[in-house]
Structure 1
Amino acid sequence: MIIKLTQNHAKELAKLHLKKYRTLHKKTIVEGVRLISQLNDYGINFDELIICDKSEFDTSQYSAKQSFIASQNQMKKITTTKTPQNIAAVITIIHIPIKQTQFLLYLDGITDPGNMGTIFRTATAAGVSGIILSPDCCEIYNPKVIRASLGSVFHLPSETREHNWLKSLQTTIVATTLEDSTNLFELSKPASLMLVIGSEAFGVSKEILQLAKHKVKIPIPGNIESINAAVATGIAIYHFINK
């Protein structure tokens, strides 16, 4: 049964735009037909489904504990895009533990939501085993990250670990850096790989560089200082999966 969304409920949903409320309630809000359809394909259960009263979406394909109909003004309050797509959903945040370790990413200080989401999306497409995040990375359940990842943050296993955790690994650590590094394309994929990507501002930390067996860079023949972190990650991932 679809019921009318109250103003008080709309205000509570809008609070999920803030990290502290997402953390408190262990829930987040997603929006848009494409994103919600992808999450549905992943088998994600929706706690709530909110549809604008002006839309004509067929929501029978989506399974939700409760469905609501909302006004356009309410949709503007509970969504974050400039042009709301007239459908949103609330989902419970569930962390998927990493079980396979053949090819992992370690993201060191990635704070841009767009880059973070793009890296998750690319890693999912390429079949990466999972992503490890340093504690200073941006929150992956930020709406911008979710949109950029096309929902893959709810599908690809991920964990948050300190730098020291890398010391205990029985895997080959390959770090990307412009200093004292060799050509990425000359390195074959190790049997077990941890690929480390640093932030555009600070790069990979010195502590991790000391642990790395290989330090690599992507050749840049053009007149530009560096490549966007998400783009560089995609190039490196596909280099290794094709080796």
Structure 2
Amino acid sequence: MVKISKNRVKELARLRQKKHRLEEQLVVVEGLRTLSQLKYYGLRPLEQYLGESEQAIWAGVPALQLDAEDFHRICDSDNPQAVAALFALPAAGVKSFKTAFYLDGISDPGNMGSIFRSAAAFGLDALLLSPCCVEVSSPKVIRASLGSVYRVPHAIIELGELSVPGLQLVCAEMEEGTLLQNFRPSDGRLVVAIGSEARGLSRQIREMARESVRIGMEEQMESLNAAMAASIIAYHLHTLEQH
């Protein structure tokens, strides 16, 4: 295994910044669990980076040896594992869907990644993102999604693109609407709009949507965060599909 050069470390460290990730269309992904999941999905990186005692994950992919200081420079977590890899950014694009979520202003990387992970687990066809959402290709989102950003089709869209015939737009609300356990989608395409816990959904979405759903909770609970709410709704829709 070849030891990485200082110049290469410097190049990879630049990818911690969004500007350079988007310019080069590359991202460093760290962590054995996430990388193992990406391998399971059939993805191959351009390079893999390993500590001295680590084994290569992919055969036939160039492997470079890094020390602890190098990993801290190229990875954005506080305590990076001694394994990482260089991938192309997850490709955006949604060709078609029957069931999707519209994410309105989800700015927390952990929430965004968790929603992608739930979407993959419960078979959502797509995630549609408002322009003000957090960057999907950030390392934190990729880790939180356990690589699901590479599996779930997604696209950034303007709200007006949801105003099409035959599309059922439903708002996920905290206090108003049909109880989720009583909700049954129509036969057409379904989009459930989910907002951030802090700001909720925009007025424009509420005006466009013809109906809303809410998750029944104990009275003393004020709200759920976006990722938890999305997971519960995704599971409910998945259960309906199974029956």
Q: State the TM bucket, normalised to the shorter chain.
A: over 0.9
Q: CA deviation at 1:75?
A: 1.5
Q: CA deviation at 1:14?
A: 1.1
Structure 1 residues 38, 63: closer, same or farther in 2, change over 3 A?
A: farther
Q: Contact 1:96 / 1:155 at 8 angstroms: preserved in 2?
A: no
Q: Contact 1:45 / 1:63 at 8 angstroms: preserved in 2?
A: no
**Alignment partner of 1:121 is 2:117:** yes
Q: CA deviation at 1:3?
A: 2.1
- Unmatched 5+ residue regions in structure 2? none
Q: Which residue of 1 aligns with 2:203?
A: 206
Normalising by the residue count of structure 1, what TM-score does the alignment of the two structures yield?
A: 0.93
- Unmatched 5+ residue regions in structure 1? none
Find the aligned partners of 1:119 and 1:203 in 2 and give their Cα distance: 16
**Alignment partner of 1:5 is 2:4:** yes
Q: Contact 1:103 / 1:193 at 8 angstroms: preserved in 2?
A: yes
Find the aligned partners of 2:65 and 2:205 in 1 and give their Cα distance: 50
SS at match of 1:46: coil
**Alignment partner of 1:229 is 2:231:** no
Q: Which residue of 1 aligns with 2:89?
A: 93
SS at match of 1:17: coil
Find the aligned partners of 1:63 and 1:181 in 2 and give their Cα distance: 54
Q: Deviations over 1:146-203 (max 9, x none)?
A: 1110000011110000111111253111111235423222111332211110111111
Q: Deviations over 1:96-152 (max 9, x none)?
A: 522331111110100000000000000001010010000000001111111110000
Find the aligned partners of 2:92 and 2:202 in 1 and give their Cα distance: 26
Cα RMSD for the two superposed structures: 1.5
Larger displacement relative to structure 2 (94-103 or 106-115): 94-103
Q: Which amino acid aligns with 2:37?
A: Q
Structure 1 residues 215, 102: closer, same or farther in 2, change over 3 A?
A: same
Q: Contact 1:130 / 1:157 at 8 angstroms: preserved in 2?
A: yes
**Alignment partner of 1:137 is 2:136:** no
Structure 1 residues 62, 96: closer, same or farther in 2, change over 3 A?
A: farther
Normalising by the residue count of structure 2, what TM-score does the alignment of the two structures yield?
A: 0.93
SS at match of 1:175: strand
Larger displacement relative to structure 2 (125-134 or 89-98): 89-98
Identity of matched residues, %: 37
How do 1:71-220 residues align onto structure 2 when only pairs under 5 Å count?
71-168=67-164, 170-178=166-174, 180-191=176-187, 192-220=189-217
Larger displacement relative to structure 2 (167-176 or 17-26): 167-176
Segments of 4+ moved more than 3 angstroms: 60-63
Q: Deviations over 1:17-57 (max 9, x none)?
A: 1100101100001011111111111111201111112x232
Q: Which amino acid aligns with 1:35?
A: T
**How many residue pairs are counted as aligned between the two chains?**
239
Find the aligned partners of 2:194 and 2:124 in 1 and give their Cα distance: 14
